[in-house]
Amino acid sequence: MVRRGGPVAALLGRFQHPAQVITTGFAAAVLVGTVLLSSPLASASAEPTDWITALFTATSAVCVTGLVIVDTGGHWSAFGEAVIALLIQVGGLGIMTLATVFTLLISGRLGLRARLFAQAETKSLTAGDLRRIVRNVVLFSLFSEAVVAVILTLRFLLGYGEPFGRALYLGVFHAVSAFNNAGFALWPDSLTRFATDPWICLTIAAAVVVGGLGFPVLFELRRSWRHPGRWSLLTRITVGMTVILLLIGTLVFLAAEWSNPRTLGALSDDDKVLAGFFTAVMPRTAGFNSLDIASMTPSSLLVTDVLMFIGGGTAGTAGGIKVTTFGVLAFVVWAEMRGEPRVTIGHRQLTSATQRQAITIAAMSMGLVAVSTYVLLVLTPHTLDQVLFEVVSAFGTVGLSTGITAAVTPAGHLLLTVLMFVGRIGPVTLGSALALKERTRRYELPEERMIIG
């Protein structure tokens, strides 16, 4: 007999699929955030905020995106900013991870169904000891944010003369925002004023990369970072693709923007390299920017679109289709070009289910981006470059923008809200949540080959 894991697990038992709980949990967090942010207490003017702005901001925070309609540091009060930081933390850790922690606190035990739900959110490769996994996720997240907060606080205190209270506030807020790949900043120009400050830029970039790798990868690296030959396929692809994309992104941005007087052109050579690297890190789905995005060349915008669409690692705080999906597709193409019947990586063979999942996620994501871009082009007077950038940024839960977010129509804001929500929980997760039940076929049909291309 399977023992129930307490009140939370009993509540989760009402659902037929973990995806339904994940979707419901994120929707509930967005709803609560919308109510709190629409109250007069949340705005600096002590006036209620319209529900579209509140909904957009709450979704952007819970889905750790960073797109904003109003200036975060100017429009919201200290209470409103605290609500945003809390929503970012909730979205970063994951609704199901928090629900598992609450179950442990209430009942001291974890039922089988709750274990499966937690596994779906944390992307654990085995059911194993979910108590230890969830505890490690929470502790590592809080520890990482604390380290980043200390460094940023000291920099704001000693380097910019901020009072200790203000420096601590800035440090904690941006540490939470950076590690969770949210990209919310308390300055209207994001981090452009710190473009030449390595203490600020490199600290935030490191937090973004670590948070975006994914917890399973981080835990495996902690255990066997000295022995790459023992790494799983997940870790190999995540680390390898992350390094490759960061290197390519940095080189492309440096080449495209080196002489652009509105971006890198006015900086020294060392500062150009720093700003170029920072700009390459942020499309991993953190919406900070140290350069004016609207002033970047079309080629840089296109590369940023691609990097935002790919995103970061599985089970991390980053969005996008994930570097694992992109890596699997690359190996599928390589195997097909070589005429090999099986897709292999190193000394491992990829299952057909993994290949189908990668193709499904990529195809659904590209279709959603294409349709949303068309709709937003109809709803707004902006150019294709600007609209495509905004759509990919919302779907990839990135938060970068060419500056058109506030100028989009209310209908466009609702569309971007849906994109952020879908981009956070994933197209396949959303589809599974909407399905009443999983369907299995109990028979096989005859095969037939057809010509492709």
Q: What is the pLDDT of residue 77?
A: 96
Q: What is the pLDDT of residue 57?
A: 97
Sort 13 into a burial class: Cβ within 10 Å, 0-12 / 13-18 / 19+.
Answer: middle
The answer to whether position 146 is within a domain reads yes
Q: What is the pLDDT of residue 451?
A: 74
The answer to whether position 442 is within a domain reads no
The answer to whether position 252 is within a domain reads yes
The answer to whether position 451 is within a domain reads no
Q: Of the candidates 209, 5, 211, 6, which has an alpha carbon nearest to the alpha carbon of residue 94?
A: 211
Helix, strand or coil for residue 76? strand
Helix, strand or coil for residue 150? helix
The residues, any chain, with a CB within 8 Å of residue 115's CB and separated by 6 or more, are 5, 127, 130
d(CA 453, CA 214) in angstroms, rounded, equals 36
Bridge partners (DSSP) listed for residue 102: none
CA terminus-to-terminus distance, the chain: 53
Q: What is the pLDDT of residue 251?
A: 96
- Interior CA angle at 264 toward 369 and 248, to 5°? 50
Q: How long, in residues, is the chain?
A: 453
Q: In this structure, what token pair is assigned to residue 386?
A: 């600007």
Residue in this structure with the two tokens 């937003």, named with its chain if needed: 376
CB 11 within 8 A of CB 24: no
d(CA 106, CA 123) in angstroms, rounded, equals 24
The answer to whether position 128 is within a domain reads yes
Q: What is the pLDDT of residue 138?
A: 85
Phi/psi of residue 345, nearest 5 degrees: -130, 115
The answer to whether position 2 is within a domain reads no
Phi/psi of residue 287, nearest 5 degrees: -85, 20
Q: What is the pLDDT of residue 235?
A: 87
CB 274 within 8 A of CB 385: no
Q: What is the pLDDT of residue 81?
A: 96
d(CA 314, CA 317) in angstroms, rounded, equals 8
Q: Could you give the C-alpha distances from 280 to 152, 302, 303, in angstroms and in order?
A: 21, 13, 9
Domain range spanning residue 293? 7-434
The answer to whether position 172 is within a domain reads yes
Instruction: Compute the Cα dihedral for 44, 49, 53, 54 and give only its sign.
Output: positive
Q: In this structure, what token pair is assigned to residue 78?
A: 């200290």
Report which DSSP code applies to 447.
P
Q: Of the candidates 205, 79, 188, which has an alpha carbon nearest to the alpha carbon of residue 152?
A: 205
d(CA 156, CA 335) in angstroms, rounded, equals 51
Phi/psi of residue 344, nearest 5 degrees: -125, 145
The answer to whether position 24 is within a domain reads yes
Chain centre to alpha carbon of residue 249: 18
d(CA 434, CA 436) in angstroms, rounded, equals 6
The total number of structural domains in the chain stands at 1
d(CA 308, CA 326) in angstroms, rounded, equals 12
Q: Of the candidates 301, 300, 277, which has an alpha carbon nearest to the alpha carbon of residue 290?
A: 277
Mean pLDDT for each 10-residue chunk of the chain (453 residues)?
47 55 86 97 95 97 94 95 95 68 49 57 55 80 95 96 96 96 94 96 96 84 81 88 95 96 94 96 92 94 96 83 91 90 84 84 93 95 95 95 93 96 77 52 78 73
Q: DSSP letter string over 218-266?
A: HHHHHHHTT-GGG--HHHHHHHHHHHHHHHHHHHHHHHHHTT-TTTTTT
Residue type, 89: Q
Q: In this structure, what token pair is assigned to residue 225?
A: 């970072």
CB 130 within 8 A of CB 115: yes
